[in-house]
């Protein structure tokens, strides 16, 4: 479990303005839906990993609020790097995935398990600087490489190498033009 001080540092680093104060973070939380989701995720993850039952209950309540109010579901077991940008956080579902730094995710994106029976559930790994456009579905223990792009409405079930683009249903890998 990370300390509360580490959680505050992560919250400040997620802020769009460099060197933001805690006051800036609180104000931005009320006016920026993307930052609000990240703020709630960071705080909820801290509470969820706490040893105190009341904090775990508060985290559960915060997650339900995100689902009902923002229509966004992010697992507290997900590992999210710095500066994740949720352009329109509506409909975003993130399972126990690993997301790198400076990733951009648009609306209605799903990062989930493939749900195959008999195997341990595996979730996608998104590397630094990747962009995932609207309605993309990324399933299973696959990797989206550094600077890769997942096109809108693509279903990704294979690895996407660094600096490549995944397009279509099922996806095909093409070079960036």
Q: Which position among 9, 56, 88, 146 bears the catalytic label? A: 88
Cα(100)–Cα(116) distance, integer angstroms: 25
Cα gap 49→44, rounded to integer Å:
9
Q: Is 88 a catalytic residue?
A: yes
Q: Catalogue the active-site residues.
A: 88
């Amino acid at each position: 479990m990370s300390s509360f001080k580490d959680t505050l540092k992560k919250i400040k680093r997620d802020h769009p303005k460099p060197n933001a104060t805690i006051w800036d973070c609180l104000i931005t939380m009320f006016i920026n839906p993307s930052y609000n989701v990240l703020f709630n995720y960071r705080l909820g993850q801290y509470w969820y990993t706490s040893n105190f039952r009341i904090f775990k209950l508060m985290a559960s309540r915060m997650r339900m609020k995100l689902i009902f109010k923002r229509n966004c579901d992010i697992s507290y077991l997900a590992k999210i790097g710095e500066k994740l940008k949720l352009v329109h956080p509506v409909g975003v579902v993130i399972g126990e995935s690993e997301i790198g730094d400076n990733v951009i995710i648009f609306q209605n994106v799903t990062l989930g398990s493939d749900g195959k029976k008999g195997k341990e559930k595996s979730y996608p790994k998104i590397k630094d600087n990747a962009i995932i456009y609207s309605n993309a579905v990324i399933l299973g223990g696959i990797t989206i490489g550094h600077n890769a792009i997942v096109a809108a409405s693509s279903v990704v079930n294979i690895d996407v190498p660094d600096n490549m683009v995944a397009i279509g249903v099922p996806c095909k890998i093409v070079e960036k033009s």
